[in-house]
Homo-oligomer: A and B are copies of this chain.
Amino acid sequence: MTAEPIYDIAHLAHVELLTDKPEESLDFFVNILGLSESGRAGDSVYLRAFDDYEFHTLKLTAAKTTGVGHVGYRAASEPALMRRVRAIEAMGAGLGWDNGDLGHGRAFRFRDPDGHVFEIYFETNRYVAPPSERPALKNQAQRNHGRGCAVRRLDHLNLLAQDVSLIRDFMPKALGSRVTEQIVLDSGALAGCWFTVNNKSYDIAYTRDNTSTKGRFHHLTYAVDQREQVLQAADICLENGVYIETGPHKHAIQQTFFLYVYEPAGNRVEIANAGARLILAPDWETVTWTEAERKKGQAWGLKTIESFHTHGTPPVRS
């Protein structure tokens, strides 16, 4: 008997990121990463990459702390949205509906087992380029200004969790996500887990929080078209005094070519390229990495930098 895959959720849609240095963070996302501003409301600035088709993929919110505000996924249709709402309510994780945002219509909110807030919605505010932002090629959302790292689109995010195995159970039921890769330690504990709702190799990853804190954020990733642009991004960060944590290098897990930097408020941001790799198999078998395999470091032998295992936002007061 074949289980049928669930395709109710179309894609990761946006991330709300908190910053206690709102001006510096905004400057980073616009001038270094290369996002464009779509609008402002309250303490938030709405940002998007040049080929993101929705109003925003990043909601940057001034706050007293850092980390993630909430994560938004867009459903495949209104009926698909309602199927997910029923499933999530049945799991007891629902927080109820809100009235939407500048970027989209009403959204149903829920919490993952680690306390991070998510929302799902279908009605969206599709970006329409004003004349000055019209791209030369009409199949692209917006003109590419080539500013900073000139990222193309939101790719994925990574959250920290006390117990990743709870997330591994939760996400497939809540969003219909598939687990494409995972790290299982010798103890049997799950150190990391990569999920996707579509053909991307992952749209969200969870890794174990080594502190006793919940709801923390590891990083947010925008995709560039070519590995060479990740190298150029490193030069741009170098010239502009952005803190480079590690990379460019290739992850063994998911084979992503990565560069990790910290935006001015301390939130980790990745610029990445996945090449032509996609998850096309409807019955993809989860790839499990052992503790021994992880000790080999990244794909080409780079030892994983210590802060990659310890730095999350908001920072933990010790």
Residue pair B152, A276 in contact (C-beta under 8 Å): yes
Instruction: Give the number of residues in A that approach B within 8 Å (Cβ atoms).
Output: 81
What CA separation (Å) do A238 and B297 show in the bound complex? 13
Given contacts A3-B77, A153-B276, 12 further A-B pairs with CB under 8 A are A5-B76, A11-B280, A11-B281, A138-B293, A139-B255, A144-B235, A155-B276, A228-B228, A235-B250, A244-B301, A246-B302, A302-B302
Complex interface: chain B residues within 8 A of A236 (CB): 146
Complex interface: chain B residues within 8 A of A293 (CB): 138
Complex interface: chain B residues within 8 A of A283 (CB): 77
The answer to whether residues A137 and B2 also contact, given A148-B146, A153-B276 and a CB cut-off of 8 A, is: no
Instruction: Kindly identify, within residues 1 to 15 of chain A, every residue whose CB is under 8 Å from any CB belonging to chain B.
Output: 2-5, 7, 10-11
A273 interface hit (Cβ, 8 Å): yes
A114 interface hit (Cβ, 8 Å): no
Residue pair A238, B278 in contact (C-beta under 8 Å): no
A263 interface hit (Cβ, 8 Å): no
Contact of A136 among B238, B254, B274, B276 (CB under 8 A): B238
Complex interface: chain B residues within 8 A of A247 (CB): 300
Complex interface: chain B residues within 8 A of A2 (CB): 77-79, 122
What CA separation (Å) do A78 and B299 show in the bound complex? 36
Complex interface: chain B residues within 8 A of A78 (CB): 2
Stretch at the interface among A90-98, A167-175, A219-227: A219-227
A252 interface hit (Cβ, 8 Å): yes
Complex interface: chain B residues within 8 A of A198 (CB): 198-199, 280
Closest-by-CB residue of B relative to A201 is B139
A234 interface hit (Cβ, 8 Å): yes
The answer to whether residues A10 and B239 also contact, given A227-B226, A273-B276 and a CB cut-off of 8 A, is: no
Task: Write out, one digit per residue, whether chain A residues 1-43 have a CB within 8 A of any chain B CB (1) or not (0).
Answer: 0111101001100000000000000000000000000000000
What CA separation (Å) do A289 and B137 show in the bound complex? 10
A80 interface hit (Cβ, 8 Å): yes
Task: Write out, one digit per residue, whether chain A residues 133-152 have a CB within 8 A of any chain B CB (1) or not (0).
Answer: 00111111001111010001
